[in-house]
Amino acid sequence: MENAILQLCYLIGSITFIMGLKMLSHPDTARKGNLLAAAGMIIAIFATIFLYEHEGHKLHNYVWIFAALILGTVVGTVAAKKVQMTAMPEMVSLFNGMGGACAMLISLVEYNKPEVKTTGSMVVIALGMLIGTVSFAGSMIAWGKLNGKIKDRTIPGGQIINFLIFGGLIALVVSVVGGFFPATPALFYGILALAALYGILFVMPIGGADMPVVISLLNSFTGVAAAFGGFLYDNPVMLTGGILVGSAGTILTILMCKAMNRSLKNVLLGSFGGQKAGAAGAAKDQGNYKEISLNDTAVLMAYAQKVMIIPGYGLAVAQAQHICHELEKILNEKGVEVSYGIHPVAGRMPGHMNVLLAEADVPYEKLLEMEDANDQMGSTNVVLILGANDVVNPAAKDDPASPIFGMPILEVEKAEHVIVNKRSMKPGYAGIENELFFRPKTSMLFGDAKKVLQSLVAELKQV
C-alpha cells in the first residue's frame, strides 16, 4: 500500500513538473507554474522520506535530513529575495552548479557502496560523475566571470589540451565500466579530477558575449546528470525533472546559437567576446558622435506616433525597469504606441530582458521578438536604446572582419530617429565598438539609465 502511495506521489510530482514548465512559457502563468512545480517537488521529497523502502528498510537519520532541508530552504529563500536583477545570471549559474554537484555526489556515494554493481549501473555512475562534475566546475567559473571575480583566460594550446583531457576522460570511463584495468578507486577518482579540470578549462576562455549560450549548455548538462540519478534510484521524479531540464537546456542552447548565427562548436572553440574581439573593435576610428538633450528627447518622443524601446544590460544595472514602464504609460497617455524590441541574447542569461520587464509588470504583448521588432522598425518614429550595445551593432551586417559578423541584430537604423542611452562610449560586453553610435540618425543621451528616465518622465509631463 505504501509503495502504491509513493508511486502516486512520484506521478503527481512528474505531472506538476511538466505542467509547471508549460506554464513558464507565459509571464501571466509563470509564477503559478513555478509554485506548482515546487509543490510537486515538496510532495516527492516528503513521500521519499516517509514512504521509501529499500530491501525492507526505510530511511533513517531524520535529524540530518531535516536539518539539511531547513538549512537549504533558509539559504535559498534569503538569497532569492535579496538578489538584484543584475545578479540574477550569476545566481542561475550558482544554483545550476549546485545541481551538478549533487549529481557528482550521488555518483560518489553509489560508487562507494559495497553492493555488486552491474555494467549498466556503472555506466550511469561514471557518466553522472563526469557530466555532473563538468557542470559544477564550469558553472562556478561562469558564476565568477559573470560577477567579475574571474577574467577571461586563454591558455596557449588550450583547445588541444581540452581535447586531450576529454579523450582521457572517455578512456577512464571505458576502463571503469569495462573493467579493462583492476577496479581501483584511483581510476574513478581520476574521472572526478579530470572532469573538474575540463569544466574549468572549458568555460575559462569563452567570452562574455557568449555567456547566455554557456549558461544554457551547462543547464542541460545538469539536467542530464540528474536524469542519470533517476536511473540509479529508479526514481521517476528525478528522471522526469532531469529529462525536462536537459532537453529544455539543449533546445535553448540551439536557439541561442541560431540567434547569434553561430554553431555551438564556434561558440565553444571561438573567442567571440574575448580580448581579440576588443582589440579588433578598438582599432577603427569611427569619427564623431552627436548628443541630444533631455528636452529634445522628450519633445521627439511626445510627438511621435510609434516608439520602440530596446532594453539591454545597462537597464538591469541601473534597476530602471519600473521607471521605464512609467515612461511607457506616459507615452501611451499621449497617444504614442510603445513596444519593446527584445533580442534573444540581450543581457547575461537567456530571457534576461523578458524577466526584467515582467518584474515591472510590462504587458507581455508589448514585448516583440527580434523578427517582429525588425518588421515594425521601418514604421517606428523613435527607437530608444537603453544600455544595449552588441545586439544593435550594424557591424554584424556590414563588416565581414567583425567578430560578430553574421549575427542577427535589431535593425534600429530603419527607424526615423535612434536615441542611445549609455553611461559612456565604452564598448559593450563583447568588447566591440559600436558603429551605430556614429551614424547620422543616431543621437547619444549619456547618463545612468534610471536617472535619465526619471528626468525624461519629468520632461514629458511638461510637454
pLDDT tier, 208 (very low <50, low <70, confident <90, very high otherwise): low
Residue 389 identity: N
> Is the model more confident about 57 or about 96?
96
* pLDDT grade for 270, boundaries at 50, 70 and 90: low
Q: Give me the percent of the chain exceeding a pLDDT of 70.
A: 91
Domain chopping of the chain, boundaries? 1-82, 86-272, 287-462
Mean pLDDT over 342-368 rounds to 85
Q: What is the pLDDT of residues 107-131, one digit of tens each?
A: 999 998 888 778 888 999 999 999 9
Q: What is the pLDDT of residue 3?
A: 83
Residue 411 has pLDDT above 90, yes or no: yes
pLDDT confidence of residue 6? 92
Using the predicted structure, report yes or no on whether residue 207 has a pLDDT greater than 80: no
Give the pLDDT band of residue 287 (cuts 50, 70, 90).
low
Whether the predicted pLDDT of 215 surpasses 70: yes
Burial of 55 (0-12, 13-18, 19+ CB in 10 A): exposed
Helices 119-146 and 211-233 pack at an angle, to 10 degrees, of 150
Topology classification of domain 287-462: Rossmann fold (3.40.50)
Angle at 441 between CA 438 and CA 445, to 5 degrees: 70
What local confidence, expressed as pLDDT, does residue 204 receive? 87
pLDDT of residue 274: 44
Segment 319-346 shows an average pLDDT of 93
Write down the pLDDT at residue 304. 94
The stretch 127-138 carries a mean pLDDT of 95
| The 3-state secondary structure of the chain, one letter per residue | CHHHHHHHHHHHHHHHHHHHHHHCCCHHHHHHHHHHHHHHHHHHHHHHHHHCEECCEECCCHHHHHHHHHHHHHHHHHHHHHCCHHHHHHHHHHHHHHHHHHHHHHHHHHHCCCCCCCHHHHHHHHHHHHHHHHHHHHHHHHHHHHCCCCCCCCCCCHHHHHHHHHHHHHHHHHHHHHCCCCCCHHHHHHHHHHHHHHHHHHHCCCCHHHHHHHHHHHHHHHHHHHHHHHHHHCCHHHHHHHHHHHHHHHHHHHHHHHHCCCCHHHHHHCCCCCHHHHHHHHCCCCCCCCECCHHHHHHHHHCCCEEEEEECHHHHHCCCHHHHHHHHHHHHHCCCEEEEEECCCCCCCCCHHHHHHHHCCCCHHHEEEHHHHHHHHCCCCEEEEECCCHHHCCHHHHCCCCCCCCCCCCCHHHCCEEEEEECCCCCCCCCCCCHHHHCCCEEEEECCHHHHHHHHHHHHHHC
What pLDDT is stored for residue 273 in this prediction? 45
Q: What is the mean pLDDT of residues 209-213?
A: 74
- State the catalytic residue, choosing from 210, 390, 398, 399: 390
pLDDT digits (tens, 9 = 90+) for 58-72: 888 899 999 999 999
CB atoms within 10 A of CB 129: 29
Residue 298 has pLDDT above 50, yes or no: yes
Active site residue 390: yes
Confidence of residue 429 (pLDDT cuts 50, 70, 90): low
| pLDDT on residue 279 | 41
Q: How many CA atoms lie within 13 A of 249 on its CB side?
A: 23
Give mean pLDDT, residues 136-149: 89
Instruction: Count the Cβ atoms, other than its own, within 10 Å of residue 8.
Output: 13
Residue 444's pLDDT is what? Answer: 93
190-206 residue pLDDT tens: 999 999 999 999 888 87
Beta bridge partners of 307: 338, 382
Task: Look over the chain and give the mean of its residue pLDDT values, rounded to a whole number.
Answer: 86
Residue 283 has a CB neighbour count (10 Å cut-off) of 9
Residue 400 has pLDDT above 90, yes or no: no
Residue 97: per-residue pLDDT: 93
147 against 74, higher pLDDT: 74
